[in-house]
Every structure is written in C-alpha cells, then in structure tokens.
Amino acid sequence: MHVLEPGDPRRMGDFTLIGRLGAGGMGQVFLGRSAGGRAAAVKVVKAALAEVPEFRARFRLEVAALHRVGGEWTAPVLGADTEAAVPWVATEYVPGPSLHQVVESGFGPLPETTLHALAGRLARALRAIHGAGLVHRDLKPSNILLTVDGPRIIDFGIARAVDTVAGSLRTSTGVVLGSPGFMSPEQVRGQRVTPAADMFSLGSVLMYAATGRLPFGSPELGLHALMFRIAEEEPDLTGVPQTLTGLVTACLAKDPQLRPTAEQLAVHTSTDADGPWLPAELLAELGRLAARMLTVETPPQGSPAPTRSKWRWRPVLAVVGVLAAVATGTALALYDDGAEDRAAGGAPSTTASASPSAPPSAERGIPGEFVGAWEGVLEGDSDLPKRVLRLEIAPGRPGDKVAAYIDTDGAAQCTGRSKLVSADADTLVVGRGQVTAGVPQGHCTPLSPQTLAVRSRDVLVWKSGGLTADFYRSAGGREAVPDQYVGTWVPANETYREKELIRIAQGPVGGRLVRMSVTAGMDDGTEQYCDSTFVIGAVSPVLALSPATYTAESGKGCRQADAVFFTLARNGHLLLYSMAADAEPAEYVRKS
C-alpha cells in the first residue's frame, strides 16, 4: 500500500480512505475502512470516464449486477454510488497476494493438489459471475487473490462497462480490454465475447499456475506474434500435470462452443484438498499479512497514511496447523459478515468444515469401493441404448453432495447432484437429485432417490424409480474420452463426403467436445447449413451425446435434434445412432 497523495479523496460514502492500492484503466483503487472497521477496496472512476453518459449508464448496470453475484469466491460489493460526480464502488478487501505475485516470487508454480482445488473454486466463482449476466473479460493471475479459505476473483464486470466507450477513450485513457497473454481467440479477433472467453482465460491461468509459463508464449516475444498464436496455433502444455491436461486442453479450444461452461466444470471438479489447500509457506505469509492489516491505522483527516511495502514472498518454515489458525482468525475478524453477530452472541456462520447439517464424525462415510465414475444403461441395451446414466461418486458423509450425475435420453440431457443418505460396506443410498443444468433447458426433472449395491469390484446394482441396471466403472478425469473416438470423421458414403464433418475432442465427461457440421439440400433446390455441438454425457459402453445445440452461424431451418450415441464397428468405422429412434446408423470414417 502507498500513501495518499495530494488531491486524493479522503472519504467516499461511508468509507474512510487509508491509502492507495493501485490503479487501472477504470481509475484509482484505495484501501478504505467502514465505520464498523471493515476493510474495503474502493475503486474511484476516472473523471474522463465519469463524464461519458454511455459509460455511466453501463457502470450503473454493472454495479447492480455485481450486487447479485455475491459468490463464495468473489469479493462482494459493500457499497457504491453510481450517481455521484465521481462514481465509485467498494468491494470487500481480500487479505491475500495475487496468483501472479505468488508464482513470480520465490514460491513458483503451485503443487498439484492446490491446482485441482484452484480449478474447482475458480469454476464456481465464474459460475456465479456468469449467472449474474457478467463476463469478466480480463481473468488473469493478477486478478485472482489467494486467501486461506480459497481464491477470490476481483475486478469482474468492469471491462464490459469500459467497452461501451472504448472506441472513443481507448487511446486517451489507456483502457485495455483484456491482457494479451490471457485473451481468448475471439477477443484477439475482435469478435463477440461470451462467457466462453472467460473459460479460455481460465485454461491459460491454470497453465500459468502449474508451470509459471503461458500456453502460447511470452508477450515479450512480440504482441502480434502472441495474438496470432492464440488465434491460430495449438498451446504448448509442457509441464502441466497429467491429471490437469485434459481440463486445460478443453478450456483452450479455439471454438467457444467446444469449451466447457463454468457450470460443467463446477460440477465435475472438486474444491477439496487433503488438508489445507495452500502450502505451509504460503499460509504462513497470509497469516502475517492479515496480522499487518490489523495494525494499519486510519490517518487523521488531511494526513497521509504511513507507507507500507507491497506484498513480497519470503520463504518460511512453520507449523501448518498454528499458522492456518492464526490466518483464519485474523481474516474472520476483519472480513467475515457474521463476525459481529457472533461477538453479540448470535449464531455462528457455516463453513464447509463446520456445517450445522454435517453429521458427527462417527457417522459412516462412503466406502472406497463406491468412489469413482460409474455408467449404466437404464433403458434399451448396450448395443442400442435409449437412456444412459453416469454417476461420479466422491467421498463424503450423510448430508454431503457426493453424487454428480449426467442423465442422457433421447429428448434431453440432465445434469445434477444428490446428497448422501446412508452408506455401509455394501450399499449406498443417495437422495432425490437437484438439477444443475439441462440440454435443452426446461426439460429436466430431479432424479429419484438411488440405491447402489456392490456386486463385484467393478459392478454396482443400481435401483431408482422402479428401474434396475448394472453400473460399471468408467473413465474419469480430464481425458475421459476413449482415444479411438478422438479426431475428425466424414461420411463413409463418398457421395456425402463433402457434406458432413464430425470433430470429437479429448476432454472430461460433461464437456462440449463434439461438433457436427452438415450441409443438406432443401426441397426448393437451396442448401441448408447446420453447425451443432454436443455435450458428452457418458463414454462407455457407448459415447452418449446430448441433444444438439446449434451455433450462431447455423441456418434458420436447423431443427432441434435428438440425443445420439456413437459406437465403433469392428472395421474401425464410427457409427452414429439416434437414442430416440431405431433407425439404421450413419457410418463415418476418419478424415484422411
């Protein structure tokens, strides 16, 4: 933090400003403190932007949207005044270094367990942001702060407000719409930006956190060369742990339609780590940082704040448990919404590790035999399935959401989660499902309670809603698609060879990894072009796909297609069946 300078405001709304935290294209960021002592990052808009009606109107909408985010892994809005002569917004001050500071310092890339927890928690933060109608547009390591209980994404939503007036203010105010090393291909090309752009940036962020490098090279090699590689070349993922390669690859797909959504990643990634999610050395520094924040004094009116150095990594050896307790305690004292209620004798707030619904430790958790990915055919058979269900069961205790599922039939694909009801050595019972996503939207109902019994090491007997099926162990992780499916396919019939194209990418189940392009003749002699994508819902014994979602470039005559599944013939050809009909399969060969 740096001292306030002459001309800096000393107060914005109910917040007394203590010092300068930094500056950006939008304006200056100050450290502030509320009347109750709560620390805040107060962002004050530049005068040039405040005078532009289009910016102020969009800023008003963005602040309203930011209030709706309130995500567990974002910094919530504490106050704002969009109508003031100098507009401002105050968000919770996050007591932690940025991901960029940690990786670029003596600590370096993060360990694998931390990377997995980081991926899951960032996916949930983006889910909250996108659910509020926002696109971050500038997700990068310096906008991700690391705290004891997880990462926090900051500065989301503002880029879109700046974009409104970028044409007239880009050169005069220094506005930059995205950081080159973490931009998506559509941003590089100046095309329409959607939430999928944030998912591409997430892939680059995870690559950086794992290796300290960028997937398309350093900006120091030349801005134009870097942007060309982002738009046209494949990423270099050397050094990324194998367990994360599939996820990063899926996020870095050139086609936005082929990237997983934040919802899909949130469902299929874990936020848990074995013990503290951060290494001991980093926890120690966070504890000292939070303690220093407690000693920052509010300067007298008209006086500058004392100078404080920026966060800097210093390796230390310490006892993890003690340091984690110190860091957590100081963070709660400064930033927990429920701290004042607890001090007054109110009910404590809940956390993942101390929930009022969590059972005593003596209650039985899930036996290891059940943990993992399972798939079964609920209707039809393995040769011609009509409905396929995939379950991914995680460790947990009664009351925990332990079962993530993807239910694919001819009309819809539904994704959801179920809580554990009970478990013993041979039987697992999960409750009624909670729908989290569906293709198409509005066609899903919650899955009935499910019972799973062990038949053998790799077979479970599944029962639910009057249905019974055998479930078999399936591939999980970020490279779940069988390699023999991956690639580009064209019709075996040469007459249609130039009319259809199927591309199947490697990635996790739940990813939008299949794209089909078809040009069909119409009755009036014209041709209709349809470009569609599919979400993979299961990978064995068949590749089960969601109903099609048509891309923006598809023709208006493209109809909603049924869910389909792929199998491989003995000759290696790809066979495509409809899950809603008994029609003969369409046959495809690898494109030469």
Q: From the candidates 14, 81, 138, 531, give the one annotated as an active-site residue.
A: 138
Residue corresponding to tokens 């220093």: 292
> Is the Cβ–Cβ distance between 471 and 459 less than 8 Å?
yes
Residue 477 burial by Cβ neighbours in a 10 Å radius (0-12, 13-18, 19+): middle
Q: How far apart are CA 284 and CA 591, in angstroms?
A: 55
**Is 272 noted as a catalytic residue in this protein?**
no
Decide if 49 contacts 165 (C-beta within 8 A): yes
| Rounded Cα–Cα distance for residues 588 and 489 (Å) | 6
Extended strands (E) in 330-449: 372-380, 385-393, 401-409, 413-423, 427-430, 434-439
Cα four-point dihedral sign 350, 352, 354, 356: positive
Collapsed DSSP state (helix, strand, coil) of residue 508: coil
Distance from CA of residue 355 to its chain's centroid? Answer: 24
User: Computed from CA positions of residues 217, 220, 225, 230, in that sequence, does the dihedral angle turn out positive or negative?
Assistant: positive
Joined together, the tokens standing for residue 270 give: 């874990």
β-pair partners for 98: 145
Give 577: exposed, middle or buried? Use CB within 10 Å, 0-12, 13-18, 19+.
Answer: buried
331 contacts 152 by C-beta, under 8 angstroms: no
Q: 257, 554 in Cβ contact below 8 A?
A: no
* 113-147 residues labelled b (16+ CB within 10 A) or e (exposed): bbbbbbbbbbbbbbbbbbebebbbbbbbbbbbbbb
Residue type, 385: P
Residue 499 labelled as part of a binding site:
no
- Tokens of residue 509, six digits: 């189940």
**Site of tokens 């949930």:** 124
**Are 458 and 555 contacting, i.e. CB atoms less than 8 angstroms apart?**
no
Q: Which two tokens stand for residue 222?
A: 């030349």
- Look up residue 199 and give its amino acid: M
Binding region for ATP: 43
* Residues labelled catalytic: 138
Q: Please report, in range form, the residues annotated as the binding site.
A: 43
